[in-house]
Each structure stands twice: as structure tokens, then as C-alpha cells.
Amino acid sequence: MMKSYNELYLSDGMKNLGGMLDYAVNDCGFAADEILNMFIISGKADLFGTGDPALVTGMSGEELAVSLIRESGLIREIPPSSFRAERTKEYWCGWILAYLQWETAWSFRWICSSCPAEEILALYPILHEASEQKASSVLRNRIENARKQTQLQRMRLYAGMTQAALAQKAEVSLRSVQMYEQRRKDINKAQAETLFRLAAVLGCREKDLLECK
């Protein structure tokens, strides 16, 4: 399996993503999925996923979180980090997410749309003492099962939208959305304008809506 980037940077990547989630959730009060969504929307997740040294090794997890929070403008005062004697479940969540992304070369958007952070956190009691290989294997299986959904359906659900809302905002017929999600119409053959509108509303790339053959 092709890895996302050189293994030499993996340890730093795991520590930094773990630190990002730990600080953002436990010191700043964000939900895990909220900070990960900020990470994805900012474009930093795609760069991190290719091993960009400025993000993977060039800053700490806390610094990465602070950069996302400042960009969002959601809070004015950036709180100091608190000392924690043990790693938190949020740290573990980021740590294993970084490993899974490195191992599979899947995008963070793809991973998080198929298996949100809250689902990963719920597995902490049974997986946090397992090896990263074992934990990653469990998460891969969950994601592969989720792939039974179409890409369009998965991205829509991740965005928290109904079929009707998506159809209205994208100016695409509800029937078309339904048929794409039921695989009764091949979204890979959809008009470029249709793909553009759907992707724009869902905040994803057009290729994220295509089905693997």
C-alpha cells in the first residue's frame, strides 16, 4: 500500500495532530469534529496529508490549532495550554487519525466524512491500548463499510444536509440527487456544471463526489 509521505515524519505528524485535537478540545472548548472541519476547510489538512514539513514538523500541535482558531475568528482570547499528566482520548484520536491517513493516503476529508471524530473517540476505551496497526485496521474496516454509501450521500450527510436542501441550494433537481445516491444515475457522467454546483454547496472538491470504479 502506498504511504502518504516518508515514514521519517510519521512520528511528528502523529504527535502534532494529537496535540492539535487535545489543545483545541480541552483548552479551547471546540468539539473534535469542529476543529477537524476547520483543519480540512483551511486546506491545511491536504498539505499535512502530503507530508508538508511546515505543518508536519515545523510547528507543534498547539501552534497548528492556534493558527486554525485565529483564522476562524471564533474566539478572541487564545487560552494557554494546560498541563496534563496523561494523554487524553482526544490526543489519541488525532494520533491514530494521522497514522491512518499516512498508511492509506486517503484524504482527511474522506476519512472524517466516513468516520467522524466522535465515532473514533467512542472507540477509545477498547482501542487506545492497541497498536496503531490494530487500531488503524479497525477504522479502515469501518470506513470501507461506510463506502457502501455513495460519495455524494456521504458528503451530504457530513455536511448535515437533507437531499432536498442540497438540491435547492445547488439548483439541481431533487430527483437527480436521489438517483445519484441510489446509483440509478452515474454521477461520474454528470455534467461538469452539476458537479461544480453540488461540490460548491457541500464544500468539497468535485472529484470527491465521483465513484471509484
For residue 69, give the nearest of 96, 41, 88 by alpha carbon.
Answer: 41
Q: What is the phi-psi region of residue 105: left when phi exceeds 0, alpha when psi lies from -120 to 50, beta otherwise?
A: left
For residue 212, the tally of other CB atoms under 10 A from its CB is: 6
| pLDDT averages per 10-residue partition of the chain, 213 residues | 85 97 96 96 95 94 96 87 94 98 92 90 95 95 80 89 94 93 89 95 91 68
How far apart, in whole angstroms, are the C-alpha atoms of residue 29 and residue 74? 11
Q: Give the position of cell 454528470.
A: 190
Residues 107, 112, 113, 117, Cα dihedral to 10°:
180
**Do 152 and 181 form a contact (C-beta atoms < 8 A)?**
yes
Question: Where do the structural domains in the chain lie, given as residue ranges?
Answer: 9-146, 151-209
Q: Which three cell numbers stand for residue 7?
A: 515514514
What pLDDT score was predicted for residue 1? 63
Residue 175 neighbours by CB under 8 Å, 6+ apart: none
Fold of the domain spanning 151-209: 434 Repressor (Amino-terminal Domain) (1.10.260)
Identify which of 137, 90, 156 has the alpha carbon closest to the alpha carbon of residue 117: 90
Judge contact between 61 and 100, C-beta under 8 A.
no
Half-sphere CA count of 69, side-chain side, radius 13 A: 22
DSSP 150: -
Contacts of 172 (CB under 8 A, 6+ apart): 166, 194, 197, 198
Amino acid letter, 119? E
Q: What is the dihedral of CA 180, 181, 184, 188, to 10 degrees?
A: 40
| DSSP helix/strand/coil, 142 | helix
pTM value? 0.72
